[in-house]
Structure formats: structure tokens, C-alpha cells
A and B are shown apart, each in its own frame.
Chain A
Amino acid sequence: MVKQGKGEAKVKKRLLILLAVILIIIGVGSTLYITLFKGAEKTEVLLVGETEFSLNELFGTSDLITVGEYQGVSLVEVINKAGIENPEAQEYTIIAEDGYQKTVEWESIKEGIFTSEKRVILPDLPKQYWLKNTTRIEIREK
């Protein structure tokens, strides 16, 4: 192993401390940004394409189905109620209130449900696609 000089070691130690401080500042800054700007989107409605549903409206007029340990409204029913034509020809971007979003195809939507806790459950996809606090589903042609 190449021995490093005392000067170089000192520089690396300072760099390590500086890097730790920078990362803490970035982390605190990001936390403040999320708290101040992204928390304001909390809503009790679900926007599907151009159609807005209140959660009461959605759960009051739909049959609940069970997927594993979760119960909710079928996403197919939600998409139908929103009047989307040719649903199999669209792709669906599910967006949470903190801006987190995932895009999936009709095959996954067909299996999925939307729970009263505003969570989208897509049993054929990993859990990173099961968005919490979902506020919107954007739809566009493939």
C-alpha cells in the first residue's frame, strides 16, 4: 500500500469533516423544503385525468374489493368512472402528495385497488409502486 504523507492525511480528514457537514446541510435543507412546500398539497380528493372525485363520493358509490390484507375500490372502476376511453392503450402515472410518482401500464391497473387511506395497491408490482397518500392519476396515450 502506498503510504500517504501527513499533509495528505490531514487534507483527507478535513475533507471528510467538510463532506459530513455538507451532507447534513443538504439533508436539513431538503427537510425544510419538503415541510414548507410539499406538505401543502394534502387533499381529500383524487384527481383522475380531468375528473375529480371526493373520497366520500368514491367510496360511497363503489363496491369494495379485497387484495391481500387491503380493501378498496377497484382502479378499473375508478378509471371507468373518469370516462377514460381505450384504457388499455393508456399509461398511468400515479402521483402522491409529496410528488413521488410511478408510471404503470393497464395490466397493473387492472389488478389494482385504491384504499380509503389513499393508498394504491398494485399486487403484480413491488411495494415501491404501492403509493401512499395518492392525490392524482395522470393518464396519457402510450
Chain B
Amino acid sequence: MNKKMNKIKILLGVVIFGSIWGLLECVLGSYLPGRVMTGVVALGLMTATRFIYNQKGMQAGMGLIAAALLAVNPLGGCVICSVIAIVVEGAVFELVWFIFSPDIEKAESMSIKVCAGIVTAYACYTLAYVMGQVVTPLFFSNAKLQFGSLAVFIPTILSKGLVAGLIGGVVFPAAASVKQIGVSFLRSKRYYSMGSIASAACWIVVIILYR
């Protein structure tokens, strides 16, 4: 595979999995709590794609695509908070993997995979939550940001983060195990056609729901 091909495949991967992530957030985001969405959907997709593509920065890109899809979605309650949360989740995932790479990428023991899942999901959820609370008031003139009130709520955020972390501890090893299936899909001739159709379908579903 030449380098150019690699880049196109990776870019398409960003669009495919970012769109799937965005669609799942749109459809399930109103029904499932944020900690479950982070632990299962966000961490599951980001981990699986990291193992399949092994490309730094890809998950941050997926976060941007998912956030863009969510921005046109009317189903969620707080669109801006969700958009901020998804972008932050992508960035935090990259940060954790930057710090612990290549140990996570080459993680063979189950204990390391479970710990990586706990740390990544916990960090993604709590930091996304805090950033959502801090940044959202900037978009609304009637709303005020008070760091004191955020500090009061920190124990609740840390407590909810535990649920995300524990889910992450289960989801991470499961997502890592799909590497072989993902790599064979990546090498198949249908990758471009199926990937493009899947991405387009995600956007069409959301836009139809919008109307």
C-alpha cells in the first residue's frame, strides 16, 4: 500500500467512524446517560479504530466529525454541550494515548487493557463534563459561569466518572479484540464503497430526522 493510499484510507476511516459515532450520539444520546455513552460508544469506537488504523490524531478527527453531525441534530437536549464533550473526548483520548503509547498499543496482558480502559474512559468523561460546563455559558448571554458552583459539583462528576471508567475497563479489551476483523475490512476491495455508503447513510438518517 503506498503512502497516498494510506492517507485516503485513514481519512475515509475518520469520516466513517466519526459519522457512526455522531449517529449513535444522536439516536442514543437522549436515552442513555453520558457516562454510558462515553464508556461504550466513544471509547469503543476510538479504541477499535486506534488498534485497526494505528494512526495518531485519527480519534481527534473522528470527534470533530461526530461533533459536526451532532450539531445538525435536533434530538439531543443540549447540542452545544454534547458537541463540546465529543470534541474534548477525542482530544483527551489522544492525550492519554500520547502519554502511555506505545504501551497501550502493544498491550498484551488483560490487566493493562483493563487499566487503559479505566483511565481513558474516566479521563474522557470527567474532562469532557468539566469543559462542557465551562465552555457552554460562553454561548449564552443569559447564563453565567461560576467556578465555585462547579467545584461544589466536582464530587458528583468524579463519582459518575467511576461508572464510565468501569465500563471502559470492560469495553477496551473487547474493542481491542476486533483488530483482526477491522484490518481485513480495511484491506478489502469494498472498503471505499461500503465506507462511503455507511458515512452517507449516517448523515442522511440524521438530516431526515431533523426534517
Contact = CB atoms under 8 A, between A and B. Distances in A.
Interface of A: 1, 4, 9, 12-13, 15-17, 19-20, 23-24, 26-31, 33-34, 38, 91, 93, 98-105, 107-108, 124-130
Contacts of B12: none
A92 to B, nearest CB: 10
A4 to B, nearest CB: 7
Contacts of A17: 111-112, 115
Given A27-B122, A33-B155, A99-B152, 5 more contacts: A20-B115, A101-B146, A101-B149, A101-B153, A128-B78
A104 B115 contact: no
Interface in B83-138: 100, 102-104, 111-112, 114-116, 118-119, 122, 132-133, 136
Q: In the complex, which range does the number of interface residues on chain B fall in? A: 35 or more
B143 A104 contact: yes
A27 B103 CA distance: 25
B11 to A, nearest CB: 22
Contact of B158 (A26, A124, A126, A128): A26
Most buried by A among B77, B79, B103, B141: B103
A126 B136 contact: yes
10 contacts: A15-B100, A16-B119, A24-B166, A27-B122, A27-B158, A27-B159, A27-B163, A101-B149, A105-B142, A126-B140
Contact of A20 (B119, B140, B154): B119
Contacts of B81: 126-128
Given A27-B122, A105-B142, A108-B142, A128 B132 contact: yes
Contacts of B24: none
A103 B169 CA distance: 36
B156 A24 contact: no
Most buried by B among A19, A98, A101, A105: A19
B149 A93 contact: yes
B164 to A, nearest CB: 9
A105 B146 CA distance: 13
A8 B104 CA distance: 14
Contacts of A125: 140, 142-143
A26 B162 CA distance: 8
B121 to A, nearest CB: 9
B156 A100 contact: yes
Nearest to B114: A20
Nearest 9 pairs of A and B residues by beta carbon = A27-B162, A127-B77, A126-B78, A20-B115, A30-B158, A30-B159, A103-B144, A101-B149, A108-B142
Contacts of B155: 30, 33-34, 38
A124 B142 contact: yes
A12 B149 contact: no
Contacts of B79: 126
B165 interface: yes
A24 B122 CA distance: 9
B189 to A, nearest CB: 31
Contacts of B133: 128
B103 A16 contact: yes
A117 to B, nearest CB: 16
B13 interface: no
